[in-house]
Structure 1
Amino acid sequence: MISILDLNKSPVGVKFLETDEKAPVNVEFLEKHRYCQALMKARSGEDVVLAGEEISCPAAAAAFGFRPLPEKLESGKGLVGFGIVSDPEVGKEMFEGMSKLKPGQIQQLHIFPLEKAEYIPDIVIVEDYPEKLMWIALAYLHAVGGKRIESSTAILQATCVDATIIPFLSQRMNFVYGCYGCRDATDLGEHEAILGFPGSMLPKIIEHLEYLGKTAIPRSRSKGAFSLLKGKDKWVKDCSN
């Protein structure tokens, strides 16, 4: 995936660890990190584990079922305070519509560069330029027989809910723009977006990415049709002069 698409950083694997599951050895156990920050470290090469009690973002902690959502966020007033919405009822509705895991369903999150995977991840997350994500989405679309991709987001909790929990619960890809939190707390660039998909889909996605890499990707990136248009416009302009 990295070589075919020339990704800027590593795709990330996420594995949900339940009560009786242990994380692999030689990983770093993060303390007081946001989930999006753990993803940032993994896409830069770090192999980390984030336990429920160490997630510093209360919204993400609630989404993963680690602890209840604070009343200020649940009421929507917190989003008013952040300047995200002007009406608390809008913020309340945004949180009520969030997909989330059941309390106690998992205990820890193992988050790692995909090339270091020791097992099939539950979810694969890629953060990069939309053009590169487009090819992954096209490969996924081929893997599911051409069925159109439906994306869901509230422009809130983009990495934890949109790119992780929705793909896990729905077993489908989700493609999102990012959110206030992850753009504030990580190095996610203004020209980058995010997608997540079930790890079980990875082999079929890679298979079709290899196919796309033979003709479609290099041809599209060469912008041949655009070059012809520019040449035609120049010819018309020269003739007019």
Structure 2
Amino acid sequence: MDYRELSSIFKATLSLRWDPVAVRLLRVGEEKPAEAVEPPVPLRHCQSIIAARRGNCLYLPPRSHACPDGAGILGLVEMSPKLRSGELYLLFKKMPDLATARKMIASRPEFPAGKYRATLVAPLAAAPFEPDVVIFTLWPEQAMWMCCALTYATGERQYFKTSGFNSTCADLVVQPMQSGEMNVSFGCYGARASSEIDDFELYLSVPVPLLEPMARSLLKLSQKSIPEERQKIYLHPVLDRVGSRKPEAGEGAQVEIFIDTERCLGDGLCVAFCPAGVLELVEGAGGQQARAVHPEKCSACYTCAGQCPQRAIQLAYR
């Protein structure tokens, strides 16, 4: 898959509002792509991500980086002693004391000064360079499906290392480049104070080798799981009753399961999906149909009702 196709898959399956952003740290000796332009004013790294998701392809050497902290973390310049010492975190009242600030700085991922000479950012679909990472602007639900996609491809759970400090540079670029693993960022003081990321948005950064397996996973997940979740197929009326009365002592939930025999196709989906073995297929006048043979086991999870394509199953409490 090329980057245009990958971008299209991510945008279509997740209903993304913004283009995924390709990021590359330009190595010493590498030439910048002709399509990448230097911005007319210096930008923070977090601001350049916003500019790229709007469609801009940018080249940012050190003189175009407005945030000295970010430029130092990305390995473009030597970090100033005041930033390295943690003193500024106390002046901003973002840390309680110097020891805590220094502990955070010591644990922060960063590249040595001079390792890279510039940053390149562009929409993934139009990137004229090979990205190191791709940054997605997501809602929490979309981020969930990105995690599901990687687990679908690998069988592994996702673990993130992040902070509310230096998160767009350290957590979205350095951390995934060093680890080769996807990482999340909720933004940081600088990113949220100086860019247009919305309060309900977060960032997810993906190393390039993971893009294609995740895209293939999303194509599979979008056939059933994603649309079902978005349709809220298990959102049942019982939620409206919560808190309406207190159950009497010893009272348990007694669930009645209604199966419309005229609608039931006997396809067995409800039987297969029921986690408690409540349902079975039995022979009826018109062939096999679902029956609740062990209603006492029903926990009212509504999986059977949600999975039935005919909407033939309803649950109620006695």
- TM norm structure 1: 0.91
Q: How far does the alpha carbon of each residue in 1:114-153 deviate from its partner, in whole angstroms, 9 at most, with x for none?
A: 111234311010112111111112112223x222211111
1:4 paired to 2:13: yes
- Looking at structure 2, the residues matched to 235 and 184 of structure 1 have their Cα atoms a distance apart, in angstroms, of 43
- Looking at structure 2, the residues matched to 232 and 151 of structure 1 have their Cα atoms a distance apart, in angstroms, of 38
Contact 2:76 2:118 in 1 (8 A): no
User: SS state of the match for residue 165, structure 1?
Assistant: helix
* 2:206 match: 197
Q: How far does the alpha carbon of each residue in 1:200-223 deviate from its partner, in whole angstroms, 9 at most, with x for none?
A: 211111100111111111111111
* 2:180 match: 171
Rg (Cα) greater in structure: 2
- For residue 105 of structure 2, the aligned residue among 90, 95, 105 is 95
Unmatched 5+ stretches in structure 2:
1-9, 247-315
Alignment of 1:127-146 (within 5 A): 127-143=137-153, 145-146=154-155
* 1:79 match: 89
User: SS state of the match for residue 107, structure 1?
Assistant: strand
Contact 1:73 1:92 in 2 (8 A): no
Alignment of 1:111-150 (within 5 A): 111-143=121-153, 145-150=154-159
Q: Which moved more, 1:190-199 or 1:63-72?
A: 63-72
Contact 1:65 1:105 in 2 (8 A): yes
Q: How far does the alpha carbon of each residue in 1:151-210 deviate from its partner, in whole angstroms, 9 at most, with x for none?
A: 111211111110111000110001122111100111011111111111121111110011
Kindly report the root-mean-square deviation, in angstroms, between the aligned alpha carbons of the 2 structures. 2.3
* 2:271 match: none
Structure 1 residues 234 and 43, CA, compared in 2 at 3 Å: closer, same or farther? Answer: same
Contact 2:16 2:138 in 1 (8 A): yes
* 2:71 match: 61
Contact 1:42 1:113 in 2 (8 A): yes
Larger RCO (CA within 8 A; separation ≥ 6): 1
Structure 1 residues 28 and 140, CA, compared in 2 at 3 Å: closer, same or farther? Answer: same
- Looking at structure 2, the residues matched to 202 and 32 of structure 1 have their Cα atoms a distance apart, in angstroms, of 30
AA matched with 1:14:
V
Q: Which has the higher helix share?
A: 1
1:50 paired to 2:90: no
User: SS state of the match for residue 28, structure 1?
Assistant: coil
Alignment of 1:221-236 (within 5 A): 221-230=230-239
1:208 paired to 2:204: no
Structure 1 residues 231 and 215, CA, compared in 2 at 3 Å: closer, same or farther? Answer: farther
Q: Which moved more, 1:1-10 or 1:116-125?
A: 116-125
- Looking at structure 1, the residues matched to 56 and 64 of structure 2 have their Cα atoms a distance apart, in angstroms, of 17
1:153 paired to 2:162: yes
Unmatched 5+ stretches in structure 1:
none
Contact 1:75 1:89 in 2 (8 A): no
Structure 1 residues 72 and 229, CA, compared in 2 at 3 Å: closer, same or farther? Answer: farther
- TM norm structure 2: 0.70
Tell me the number of residue pairs that the alignment of Structure 1 and Structure 2 aligns: 238
Q: Percent identity?
A: 28
